[in-house]
Every structure is written in structure tokens, then in C-alpha cells.
Amino acid sequence: MGKRSIETLVGLFVLLGMAGLVFLALKAANLGTAGGGDTYTLKANFDNIGGLKVRAPVRTAGVTVGRVTAIELDSKTFQGVVSIEIARKYQFPKDSAAKILTAGLLGDQYIGLDPGGDDANLVSGDVLPQTQSAVVLENLIGQFLSGKAEGPAAETAAVAAPAPAPAPTPAPAPELATSASGAKK
Amino acid sequence: MTAMLQRLGAQTLDHFRGWGHAVFFFLDVLRAVPASLRRFDLVVAQIYAIGNRSLVIILASGLAVGFVLALQMYYALVPFGAAESLGLIVNLALVRELGPVVTGLLFAGRAGTSLTAEIGLMKAGEQIAAMELMAIDPKARVLAPRFIGGIIAMPILAILFSAVGIVGAYLVAVQLIGVDPGNFWSIMQTRVDVLRDVGNGLVKAVVFGVACTVVALYQGFETEATPEGVAYATTRTVVISSLWVLGLDFVLTALMFSTP
């Protein structure tokens, strides 16, 4: 076999390897979905970020509109500062709210972005005004148990308490507590 | 009693002498690399011998591993309603572990043995001694091009193994079983990271390429110049290279993937 044909075959071999790498990177890994054009950065402060990780998706109505780029602790307020980048083509009102949610029962955590009603839109560098922390199962169970022990009288206290978990989430717990104590009678 | 002690001491010293010898051999080959890069046609011929001619076995194994992984994972995942995650599991298993490791083992069997046998026979036929007489450094002329060829060919083979394995899993899962193709690819794309998974797999493949090629060259170069000696060296190449691949894989996995 001539020298030239060997060189051609080796060239083909290397080209095949590059094609394989491109396939792995674009089709079978996240290079094709990451970045992808123009973005702007927002910040949100959370009392508790739970298990949120860098590169976690940001979703609105279930559609992925951006990703978490950095997570830091604010050393003055002791809140988690989450930086997210949103695709430029999606604009959100100034009073949009960010929540940390969980996909499925035990799935990965992501940020849900609920659009508000303001006329002005968020611009790069803005801090989201309303946030809702991750639901910590231990806190939830603790509230449920204390609600159950003290009976219906604790119902208002549980809701009014400045718990890290937000108002909408603990609501089912006192209801369950009342139905449980009702069954006891 | 003293005879036994003496034998133990001699064996220990021999052992360490062997290690030192191998390390100096490796350094000599590294030193000869720049000289052989100037004659790149020799390296190209070695990439052909090591890489191109290993393609069939690597591609066939990759496809087969992808097929069976997809089948087994499907039966395991269906009870949990997670059949779409099949692509992700096959992908991570191939890119992180099976791609580099199985390619390393096959590389030792397919390319390493031929390197050892070739160099061993060159030594048995006194070609290496003849080169030294003509003031040609056999490490630069014979060993270094094979070393570079092995390092270039091995990662390419590992990438192709993983890529073909994922295509094989796609064929079984989507075409044969009927998993949804959109979920099959999108779950992979959201959960597999280019640098962390594909990149670390590539680093593993390069490390295994260095280990397998150096073991094969050392065994060939230091063989006894007899038919039995070459046969014995060839066998040892496969055994030692495989053990190196498996051992290094554990160390590299612990370094790369110990944090979630």
C-alpha cells in the first residue's frame, strides 16, 4: 500500500474521531442546549436554596427559559444569592416572582419564574423582588407534627409563624391536622 | 534461615530494579518524542497500524455493548416508568467508564500485542542491534513513533466506541422497543455535561493509551530474543496492560467523580 493511501486512511480515521466527538458533545451531551445565543443576567435572594445546583434550569410554565449560573452566600443577610441567565428573547415584568421547585417527588430542583403584571420589564442585573425558598421536608414535617399535637388552636399560629417556608405551602398541613384530630373524636 | 532472608532481599531488590528500569525506559522514550515528531510520516504509519486496523473490533464491540446495555436497562427501568432514562444511563456508563476501559482492554489485546511481537521479533532478528551499530537510536526510530501513534489512536478509538455504543442503544431502545426518541435524546442532553463527563472520559482514554503503549513497548524491547521469550512477552503485555487499565480507572474515577 502506497504512502499516500495510508495518509488518506489515517486522515479518515482522525476525521471519524472528530465526528464522534462532535456527536457526543452536541447530540449526546449538553453543549447543544447550553448557552445558545444572547442572554441577560438576573439575581434572586433566597432564604434557603435547598438542593439547587449551578446549571439547574429556570422554567416558566414548564418551558426552560434560562439556567442558574452561580450560587453564593450574601455574608450580610445570610441569604443565598442565585444568579440566573435568561434568554434575551424572553422578557419578564418587573414584579415577577422566583420559586425553587422540585421536578417530581424526588427529582432535581429548578427555579420557577412566575411573571407578574408590571408594565416595565426586568433588565440585566436586576434583583427579583419576590422569592420563595425551597421546601425543606424536615420543616414541613415539623410544622405538621406541631400542628397535630396542639390541635385546631395551633392552626392560626402555624400560618402566622415567620417560618422559612412560604405561606401557600404550609396551608395543607393544618388542614390535615384538623381532619386528623376530627377523626380522633 | 539466612538463605531465606537473602532470597527475600534479592527478590525485593530485583522487583524495585525492574520498576526503576521501566521508569528510565519511559523517560528515554519521552526524550525521543521530539526527534520523532520531526519525521511525522513514521507516526502516521503507526497510527494506521494501531488505529485504523483496530477500528473493526472497536466498532463491533461498541455496538454490541450498546445493544445489550439498552436491553438490560430497559427491563430494569420499565417497572419504574423510567424507560426514557435508558439513553442517559447508557450514555454515562459508556462515556465515563465503559468507553475508555473496554477500549483500553481491547487496545491492549489488539494493538499492544502486535507492538510487542513486532519489536520482540526485531530484537530477535538483531535489527535493533544493527540500528545501534549504524548509530541510529532505536528508541527514536522504532519506539517513539509507536508511542505517539498509540497516544493519538487510543482516545479516538474510545470516542468512537462510546459514540457507536450510544447509536446502538438508540437502535435497540427507539427502533426495536419503541422508547420515545425525543425523550431519549433530551434527557441525555440535559444531564450529560460536556466537560465533566465527555471530557473526563477523554482524559481517561489518553492515560490508558499511554499506559498500554508503554507496557507493550517495554515488554517488546526487553524481551528475551527467542521464540518463547517473544511469546511470553506478548502474553505479559495483555495481562499487565489490562491490570494497569483497571487499576488506573479506579484511581481516575475516584479523582474525577467522587463529588456528585
Instruction: Look at strands A109-114 and A63-73 and give their pairing.
Output: unpaired
Is the pLDDT score of A105 beyond 70? no
Retrieve residue A151's grid coordinates.
Answer: 390541635
The pLDDT-based confidence of B27 (bands split at 50, 70, 90) is very high
| A 38-57 near B (Cβ less than 8 A) | 55, 57
Which residues in chain A are contacts of B198 at CB distance < 8 A?
21, 24-25, 29
pLDDT tens digits along B62-91: 999 999 999 999 998 888 878 888 889 999
Percent of chain A at pLDDT above 90?
Answer: 8
Say what the pLDDT of residue A123 is.
Answer: 83
Q: How far is it, in rounded angstroms, from Cα A113 to Cα A97?
A: 6
Is the pLDDT score of A72 beyond 70? yes
Tell how far CA B115 is from the center of its chain. Answer: 13
Which of B138, B129, B141 lies closest to B45, judged by CA? B141
Say what the pLDDT of residue A109 is.
Answer: 82
pLDDT tens digits along B29-69: 999 999 888 888 899 999 999 999 999 999 999 999 999 99
Instruction: Look at strands A97-102 and A39-46 and give their pairing.
Output: unpaired
Mark yes or no for CB contact A17/B160 under 8 Å: yes
Which residues in chain B are contacts of A6 at CB distance < 8 A?
44-45, 48
Is the pLDDT score of A163 beyond 50? no
Distances (CA, A) of A50 to A71, A100, A143, B169: 12, 8, 18, 35
Is the Cβ–Cβ distance between A34 and A51 less than 8 Å?
no
What residues pair up with A43 in beta bridges, in sequence order?
Answer: A83, A127
Between B45, B52, B95, which is nearest A24 by CB?
B95
Retrieve residue B165's grid coordinates.
Answer: 455504543
- Axis crossing angle, helix B55-77 with helix B144-170, rounded to the nearest 10: 40
- Axis crossing angle, helix B2-37 with helix B40-50, rounded to the nearest 10: 120
Which residues in chain B are contacts of A10 at CB distance < 8 A?
44, 47-48, 51-52
Is the Cβ–Cβ distance between B208 and B108 less than 8 Å?
no
Between A17, A29, A57, which is nearest B198 by CB?
A29
Is the pLDDT score of A157 beyond 70? no
Instruction: Pinpoint the alpha helices (H) of B51-195.
Output: 55-77, 86-92, 99-107, 113-124, 127-133, 138, 144-170, 181-191
Which residues in chain B are contacts of A3 at CB distance < 8 A?
41
**Cβ neighbours of residue B34 under 8 Å, at least 6 residues apart?**
none
Q: What is the chain B residue with the closest CA to A14?
A: B156
For residue B254, the number of C-alpha atoms closer than 13 Å in the C-beta half-sphere is 6
DSSP A48-112: --TT--TT-EEEETTEEEEEEEEEEE-TTT--EEEEEEEETT---BTT-EEEEEESTTT--EEEE
Q: How far is it, in rounded angstroms, from Cα A164 to Cα A176?
A: 20
Distances (CA, A) of B141 to B161, B165, B207: 31, 37, 23
Between A3, A20, A31, which is nearest B163 by CB?
A20
Q: Is A6 in the B-facing interface, judged by CB distances under 8 Å?
A: yes
Q: How far is it, in rounded angstroms, from Cα B252 to Cα B200?
A: 9
Is the Cβ–Cβ distance between A164 and A47 less than 8 Å?
yes
pLDDT tens digits along A83-101: 988 888 888 888 888 888 8
Mark yes or no for CB contact A13/B51 under 8 Å: yes
Question: pLDDT higher for B247 or A44?
Answer: B247
Between B87, B159, B188, which is nearest A21 by CB?
B159
The pLDDT-based confidence of B160 (bands split at 50, 70, 90) is very high
Which of B187, B84, B193 lies closest to A54, judged by CA? B193
Q: How far is it, in rounded angstroms, from Cα A133 to Cα A150?
A: 26
Q: How far is it, in rounded angstroms, from Cα A96 to Cα A84?
A: 14
| Interface pTM, i.e. ipTM | 0.84
Q: Is B163 in the A-facing interface, judged by CB distances under 8 Å?
A: yes
Q: What is the mean pLDDT of chain A?
A: 76
What residues pair up with A23 in beta bridges, in sequence order?
Answer: none
Q: Is B165 in the A-facing interface, judged by CB distances under 8 Å?
A: no
Is the Cβ–Cβ distance between B241 and B211 less than 8 Å?
yes
- Axis crossing angle, helix B2-37 with helix B144-170, rounded to the nearest 10: 90
Q: Is B92 in the A-facing interface, judged by CB distances under 8 Å?
A: no
Q: What's the mean pLDDT in B227-246? A: 94
Say what the pLDDT of residue A178 is.
Answer: 44
Q: Is B198 in the A-facing interface, judged by CB distances under 8 Å?
A: yes
Give the three-state DSSP class for A114. Answer: strand
Which of A108, A26, A104, A121 lies closest to A67, judged by CA? A108
Is the pLDDT score of A158 beyond 60? no
Say what the pLDDT of residue A169 is.
Answer: 45
Is the Cβ–Cβ distance between A67 and A55 less than 8 Å?
yes
For residue A97, the number of C-alpha atoms closer than 13 Å in the C-beta half-sphere is 11
Q: What is the chain B residue with the closest CA to A17?
A: B156
Q: What is the chain B residue with the closest CA to A19?
A: B160
